[in-house]
Structure 1
């Protein structure tokens, strides 16, 4: 009796189980299955009860997703704005360039119209070329008197600045040499060839063996359109030039 009393706590846990063993062996298997299923059910419940503690909060996940989406959209809009700004800047630059080109073109057209109007009013005996009028005399004078005649006409002896103008002046003086506005003049730096407008000689079209120095003055032109020289007292035709634009 005492032994049964000591084992009672353990037997009380399995009373139904032991009774089932004594009553029916078939029920023993059923009870065992029920106990195992119950244990498996509790085993399945433990992870389910623990899951809320281990899974992330859905609301927090949603907030994180929203923030990530907002950042991505913000970056995309910034890229779009940057692209639009660059596009606008390029278009504005191109527009400014076109405006400047158009303004320059209008200025050139205006100058051409003005020059055409000036050429239309070219005085009798004068010929227009480039930005100037040119006058070729029919009489002959020395260099100083020739220059004085040009100055009375509001001009001066011709100054030749480039090859095109040289060819034009050569054609004007094809019938003989004519004084041009080039002389061997004393300057602060010494004796130099200088044009009547004060500019130094840069383009040179001298004939072979020229120039000579000390008191010589230039004339145009001999064969091949080259410059020659003479003393100021020599009588020659002359060519005047008057700037018009």
Structure 2
């Protein structure tokens, strides 16, 4: 009895016993699972689980489910690889596009910078030229003012000399003419339109009167007649010129709002010829000039320089 106690135990029998108990337990587990799924345990009992199958369950091989899991994992890995490849390709394309656009923007920036520098240079040059022109304009203005002053002084001296010459000159005017200052004047006794009146003066070796001074204006007002004078704006409206081609300057002796180019009736001709209008009660001297229709009939005054 004591020998049996101290004898070396048979481990092979122990392992076989444990394996048998494990197989019985695995059978019980499958039977319980089939019962829960609604399978008939009796039909399953007819087909005992093979020993190799039990071994696979014990080792955890997994069967078809494990194969499907591996396939799914492989597909997922391939999809991830394709996704990464697509993302990498898009990144490369985007980087190339950004690089090209950056180069284009840099080129445009360089061009605009050059144009800006050219414009700045042009602006500097134009500013210098403007300053030079302003300086020249100021100098020319000063010279013009000096020339105007000289002209006024010379005109006064000329007029003084003319007056002195006229006093010394004893030339008489021909019959029918009156002398005033350094001119002889003919006053018509009949009426004609402006053009015919001027032609009569030319036939007499003179022209319609040109008024140069307040004294001459007073002389003509004392004729107590409405007469044509040598002034018109037939070429350009409101641009009156004398018969010798000189423009009208001061002094002027227009009455009131004249010249008004008044139309006597719709469609009538303009008032382009000047007259001295005699009507002391309506048009008091010395401002007696009026614009009238050139085809009207008036007396006229011819002037001939001595």
**TM-score w.r.t. structure 1 length?**
0.49
Larger Rg: 2
Which has more strand, going by share of residues? 1
**TM-score w.r.t. structure 2 length?**
0.40
Structure with the larger RCO, 1 or 2 (CA within 8 Å, 6+ apart) = 1
